[in-house]
Structure 1
Amino acid sequence: MTDSYQVTTLIVLIGFMSILFYMVYKSRVSTDSLEVYAVGNRSFSPLSVALSLAASITSAATFIINPGFIALYGLSAFIAFGVVMPFAIYAALIIFIKRFRKYGMDVKSISIADWVGKRYDSRPLKILFGFLSMLLITFIVLICVGMTKVVSKALDANELTILILIVVVVFTYMMIGGANTMVYTNSVQAILMIIVAVLLLGSGSDILFKSGGEGFLFQLDQIDTSLTATFNEQSPLFRDFFEVVVCNTLVGIAIVCQPHILTKSLLIKKDDQVNRFLLYTVVVLVLFFSVVLVGFYARLSFPDLMFNGAPLKMDGIVSAYVLHRFPVYVGIVVILGLLAAGLSTLEGLIQSIPTTITNDFIVPIGEMAHLKTAPMKINKGVTVIVGILAIVLSYDQLVNPSLSVGIFAQNGVYAFFSAAFVPVFFGIFTKTRNKWIPIAASLVAILTHFGVYYLELTPYMEGMTIKNPAIASALALIASTVTGLTIYVINPMNKNVHAYARP
């Protein structure tokens, strides 16, 4: 890698961040309202919100981290992350978004914790989810690690320095702009991601279709026969039908219950725009999820998983492939797109997590203690604390990962949406006001998820150095759903769901 390449890359990155800061300045809303900060002024087009949502759902995980799983474990990983999970997400978006939006608009919710608290008229439930939202900090860590790997490799720079710069810059402009900034910047990032997705998918077409589909599978089979197996018994994550299909279907459905995903529907001003918004979202998502094919390209390019004489870590495989495969200036564009993929979701998380912690955990507790609170000031302080945690935890994952930062992030994120699934599902598909359904189901989900994972329950977990969070999440979803249904059958407490009282 030449010095001129690094200098050019640095100039392009500075230019890109300057554009984002300009958009922050132009789109910022001067307000002391946490609601406006969280959901903006709802004056966005269906396409801009769809681009923002598609970018938020896929992020650095799809563009940078998940292809690494496919490079290591082959076809079984692709079926899980490139077929099963995406289709479950499409179905869940179409089914959940309209109903969530309807109730969300009725009660002016700004987060999932706020929504479930109002939906079930329960302050304790709102506080519980405000607390549980802290688990999503693990997702911030995943994105920070992914972006740090890409940028530090491109600039040949120290990873800690790059990590700190990324966190400081992005957290700063999100504190200024909020939801309005996020939608505009996400739209630009999504357009860049579309360009890069096409470049990445096209980059390996000669490898993938060298002798037709059979030639591609034959090449993988020559490297390792487990790479072409539907289920990879040698992997810790894709060993059988339950892990590959059942777990990823359940996870894909439940993944939509994250606050930075469902609350995007509240940014649409008119109900008659929702169908177009969903269509645009799914079309763009199909392209984005296809990017995991790059994992195959990378493994065929690095059969022994070595690059420049050094072994590749899973989270660095995509970065190495970009530097290996693309000419200098095209490579810079791809690097910019990978950075945009991370920023798109990171912005949504920075906007939603501190807002949820502030609005749904700190402020209600303060009100219960009869303390005077200033939500916007608290929100800024929480954002700073989350930023510091992101740096500390991300650096630990850079230095000492367990296979991949993806495992660390999945453990936290999967636990959250396993807990959120029953409250959201019953909230939008039933008329029950029984607050014990979401409370009991959520607690069962959390206890099951972390119990299965850390106590190594089930044969899938016993004696495993690398454990699969999807197993813990799937079992947690099943246990919590059974709990919720049992309570619902015994005591549904059906009432008019529009008569909410603010918790």
Structure 2
Amino acid sequence: MISTFNAAISAHPLAWGLFGVYLVVTFWLAYLGHRRTKSFEDFAVGGRSMGPGLAGMTLGACLASTATFVINPGFVYAWGLPALLAFSLPLFAGVFTGLAVLGRGFRKHGKQATTLPVWIGQRYGSQGLRAWFASLCLLHVFYVVLIVVGAALVMTNTMGLPYSTSVGLVVCVVFSYVCFGGTYAHAYTNTAQGAIMLVVAGLIFVYALSAIGSPSEALTQLAAQDPQLAGAVHTGSPFYRNLFEVLVCPFVIGFALVAQPHLLLKTLYLKRTRDLMTFGVTGFACFVVFSLVLFAGLAARLEFGGGLAQDVAMSRWLAGAFPAGLGAVVSVAILAAAMSTLDGLLVAVSAIVGGDLIAHPSVMGRLGVPAERHNATALWAGRGTILVLGVIAWAVAIDPPRLVGIFGTIGTYGLLVASLPAVLFGVVLRRPPSARGIVFGSLTGLVVHLGLYYGDWTINTGLTATLALFAALPVTLIVGWTPAPRAAPVAPEPSDTPTPSQRLIAVGS
């Protein structure tokens, strides 16, 4: 093991030096977070005392992930301007609208909530809904594995470590500092990671524009390869065949993404409600800057043509686009992007499992845990959950499923279509639908989304999720505002025992 690390460090000294500095800063920030984590509320939502800049940077870093820096530019490489358009303007508009519509109302109705399931349970007065949505949040586990695999592949290709060793290192680093410091560690480290990502996104954008050249020449070269690469839609693509898939689906998905447990809950990090505007603008601006890396997909297409697999196009372009020193910085930044999303998911999932399932009051009652120990039990249950997730992520990522990327998207979008009706109507309606309507809408969304995908209707999960939401939202309102059917009165069974009136008649006679 030591010889493996020595060989990798000797081959890539600058990258390892930067990564070492990154680790030192990250664990120092995690230590600061640990010092401030005294309760489960501190662990889950940071004691609700963060400034808007810190919380906003955390939001932006979580919105951007390995997909933003590695996967999405590959779609732009493969499908040209339609993919660039879909991942930019409509997606930005959806995210911004989601923050504007959901942020203030979510905070107003859930100031004392520590997780999204708690918020839903309180808003609809149903502990059953709380348990249902806590269970649904476990779908994020698949995306956790996806991020671990992606980060490990980046580390393998840029830092010279074997894949299995990279998986172990990623799991140990991220899971340990989040377990140590909870939300404060997540927020502090995301600020550092976000700052690195902002600088590197700017570098990638500048180098990509330089490689692309003038817009007219770039469009001419793209059209020479395939005229649809330079248009608004690409009929040969399974993802961008028409304007509905290019404009409407990304807007809907962007709006729904805000309702993810590890994103919307960040509105509760803030000390003051009036900080929401600064928080939202900061997070949105960071996300827009991070998304500038999409232009690298166009640069790769112009340089390499269409001969590369889209998954490797971005890494191949990065390898030759920068001098050695800048290449090392970019590699560490991409690792930071992966870890920033991963730690946000870990905090959300562990808080939900610890607070909504393991440390639920009914469970604590059955276990005989005294009331004064519930908070401490929830805190340690959350930390224990992170350790268990770490073992699961490591075990699966060592030999990942062949379709881990698809399963990750299916799980994330499944959570979105199931939870958005509850969050949206709980925020915007003074009299939200009943808990029965929320359950029917949630199940409708899941059935439509999974049915369309696994029924081989399309592999475009953005389209299946959009159609699922279009079905789930009206079902939620119709069922939720329709009075539940009353059970027919049951006639009493004949009895040999005389009623009081019968006894009076008998006495009178």
* Corresponding residue for residue 477 of structure 1: 469
Matches of 2:167 and 2:31, distance apart in 1: 24
Whether 2:324 is the aligned partner of 1:356: answer no
Letter in 1 for 2:94: A
Are the counterparts in 2 of residues 251 and 470 from structure 1 also a CA contact under 8 Å? Answer: yes
Structure 2 CA distance for partners of 1:412 and 1:331, relative to 1, 3 Å: same
> What is the alpha-carbon distance in structure 1 between the residues aligned to residue 21 and residue 364 of structure 2?
47
Structure 2 residue runs of 5 or longer lacking an equivalent are: 1-7, 370-376, 485-509
1:317 counterpart = 2:323: no
- Of 205, 215, 218, which residue of structure 2 is paired with 1:216? 218
Residue by residue over 1:98-141, the C-alpha shift from the partner in whole angstroms, topping out at 9 and shown as x without a partner, is 11111121xx1111111101111111100111110011122222
Give the stretch that moved more between structures: 73-82 or 375-384: 375-384
In structure 2, what is the Cα distance between the partners aligned to 1:419 and 1:344? 25
Q: Which residue of 2 aligns with 1:309?
A: none
Secondary structure of the residue aligned to 2:283 is: helix
Alignment correspondent of 1:468: 460
Structure 1 residues not aligned, in runs of 5+: 307-312, 462-466, 493-503
In structure 1, what residue type is equivalent to 2:290? F
3-state DSSP class of the match of 1:40? Answer: helix
Tell whether 2:420 aligns with 1:421: yes
Contact residue 407 and residue 468 of structure 1 kept, 8 A: no
Provide the C-alpha distance between the structure 2 equivalents of 1:3 and 1:346, rounded to a whole number of angstroms: 25
1:255 and 2:257 correspond? yes
1:394 pairs with 2:400: no
Aligned to 2:383: 380
Instruction: Return the alpha-carbon distance in structure 1 between the equivalents of residues 228 and 399 of structure 2.
Output: 31
Give the aligned residue type for 1:416: L
Taking the aligned partners of 1:352 and 1:286, their CA distance within structure 2 comes to: 23
Runs of 4 or more, structure 1, over 6 Å off, are none
AA of the residue aligned to 1:482: P
CA distance in 1, matches of 2:233, 2:455: 25
Following the alignment from structure 2 to structure 1, what is the Cα–Cα distance between the partners of residues 407 and 300? 23
Q: 1:9 to 1:202 in 2, by over 3 A?
A: same
Mapped to 2, the partners of 1:419 and 1:179 lie a distance apart of 25
Which has the larger displacement, 293-302 or 112-121?
A: 293-302
AA aligned to 2:408 is: A
The residue type equivalent to 2:333 in the other structure is G
The DSSP-based 3-state class of the residue aligned with 2:47 is: coil
Q: 1:275 aligns with which of 269, 277, 280?
A: 277
Q: Counterpart of 1:266? A: 268
1:427 and 1:157, CA in 2 relative to 1: closer, same or farther beyond 3 A? same
Decide whether aligned partners of structure 1 residues 172 and 455 sit closer, same or farther in structure 2, where only a CA change above 3 A counts.
same
Q: 1:395-418 CA deviation, whole Å, 9 max, x = no partner? A: 444x734xxx54332111000011
With the length of structure 2 as denominator, give the TM-score of the two structures. Answer: 0.87
Rate the CA distance shift 1:286–1:148 in 2: closer, same or farther, 3 A. Answer: same
Any idea what SS the aligned residue of 1:14 has?
helix
2:36 touches 2:184 (CA, 8 Å); kept in 1? no
Q: How far has the Cα of 1:12 moved from its partner?
A: 1.8
Q: Secondary structure at the match of 1:410?
A: helix
**CA contact 1:128–1:361 (8 Å) conserved in 2:** no
Q: In structure 1, how many angstroms separate the alpha carbons of the residues matched to 2:11 and 2:225? A: 33
Return the offset for 1:25.
Answer: 1.1
CA distance in 2: counterparts of 1:302 and 1:149, whole angstroms? 22
Q: Note if contact 1:193-1:340 (Cα within 8 Å) is conserved in structure 2.
A: yes
- The superposition leaves residues 29-76 of structure 1 with CA deviations (integer Å, 9 ceiling, x where unpaired) of 465632221011233221111111011111221112111111111112
Q: What's 2:430 paired with?
A: 431
1:346 Cα shift?
Answer: 0.9
Displacement of 1:489 in angstroms is: 4.0
Please give the alpha-carbon distance, in whole angstroms, between the structure 1 residues aligned to 2:84 and 2:398: 28
Task: For 2:449, give the aligned amino acid.
Answer: H
Q: Distance in 2 between matches of 1:412 and 1:6?
A: 36
Q: Distance in 1 between matches of 2:134 and 2:368?
A: 19
- Paired with 1:278 and 1:163, the residues of 2 have a C-alpha distance of 33
Contact 1:50/1:278 (<8 A) preserved: yes
Q: Give the C-alpha shift of residue 468 in structure 1.
A: 1.5
Given candidates 122, 126, 132, the residue that maps to 1:122 is 126
Shift of 1:7: 2.3
Q: In the TM superposition, what is the alpha-carbon distance from 1:324 to its structure 2 partner?
A: 1.1
8 Å contact 1:366–1:372 — kept in the other structure?
A: no
Please, what TM-score do these two structures have when normalized by structure 1? 0.88
Identity among equivalent pairs (%): 30
CA distance in 1, matches of 2:272, 2:361: 34
Q: Which has the larger radius of gyration?
A: 2
Residue 184 in structure 1 maps to residue 188 in structure 2: yes
Q: 2:172 is matched with which residue: 168, 172, 179?
A: 168
Q: Is the CA contact (8 Å cut-off) linking 2:52 and 2:275 kept in structure 1? A: yes
Please name the residue that 1:83 is paired with.
Answer: 89
Matched, 1:59 2:59: no
Of residues 263-272 and 137-146 in structure 1, the stretch that sits farther from structure 2 once superposed is 137-146
* Alignment check: 8 A CA contact 1:226 1:232 kept: yes
Verify the 8 A CA contact 1:207 1:216 in the aligned structure 2. no
Answer yes or no: is the 8 Å Cα contact 2:86–2:246 preserved in 1: yes
